[in-house]
Amino acid sequence: MQQYVEQAAALGLEEIGFSGHFPYPPGYDPPLPDCVIPEEKFGDYLKEARRLREHYAGRVSIRIGAEFDFLGGRYHETTPLEEADRLGLDFCMASVHIIDGLVVDYTPELLVEGLERKGWDIDSLYRNYYRTLARAAGPGFCTTIGHLDLVKKFNSDPRLVPLENHSALVDDLLEIMAGSDTAMEINTAGWDKPCAEQYPSLEIIRRAVDKGVRITAGSDAHSPGQVGRHFGRLKSLLEELGIERLVGFDRLEPVFFKP
């Protein structure tokens, strides 16, 4: 984790946020292994993040958070916000990677196999994805929705291109986020994925801004070299869209700043 902070310092970033994947709920059998921090190691993650926050105080501000996979209401006894408050986190991000056992973003082959197994087409997946995400966007659930249109990751594959327009479902989701003050992440990792576009799309970002959704940003780094990736491109995008402030979080309270 220290290498991530060193990379942030080398890039001249004033702040870095850690969003390790929170353990799955008890009793949940994941379709793939090693996608989250195991429950027995999550305490070590927090301990190291807090040590680094003290060590780099005055050089790089470190926000400590977690990404929570929203799996549907029946699996969750507490909300990410409740867990984040209990653990003293700065922020809690909700995201959807798995829908009823179907993994959205691992490989196109696995996704196609999953769709065939469930008898869904790609538009069925899009509908279920946005409806599931909307359930995580209401008041008191999380601070942030991560990579909002992750479902598009493999849309360069002809088998996985939606035929329907899902903008109405996206608008419903954005309305919920605006009403609950839930932030939307602009995630620069998408530029390195098969979709070759930031998450979410330019169109969705514009609609979010028009509706008053709070905007945050991150590089979704899974290695130190990915910290701050494409931030120059991100700055140009923010200027193009007229976004003059972003939101971060300190102990779950919003903190606004200029990008």
First to last CA, the chain: 24
Give the model confidence (pLDDT) of 233-258 as tens digits.
999 999 999 999 999 999 999 999 99
Give the residue extent of every domain in the chain. 2-257
CATH node for 2-257: 3.20.20.140
- DSSP β-bridge partners for residue 183: 144
Kindly state the average pLDDT of the residues 184-207: 98
- Is the pLDDT reported for residue 74 higher than 80? no
Confidence of residue 224 (pLDDT cuts 50, 70, 90): very high
Nearest-angstrom CA–CA distance, 65 and 143: 10
> Tens digit of pLDDT for each residue in 108-156?
999 999 999 999 999 999 999 999 999 999 999 999 999 999 999 999 9
pLDDT band of residue 105 (cuts 50, 70, 90) is: very high
Mean pLDDT of the chain: 97
Do 88 and 249 contact (CB within 8 A), yes or no?
no
Dihedral over Cα of 54, 37, 72, 217: its sign: positive
Length of the chain measured in residues: 259
Cα–Cα distance for residue pair 166/154, rounded to 1 Å = 16
pTM above 0.75, yes or no: yes
| CA quadruple 188, 193, 194, 199: dihedral sign | negative
* Main-chain phi, psi angles of 177, to 5 degrees: -65, -40
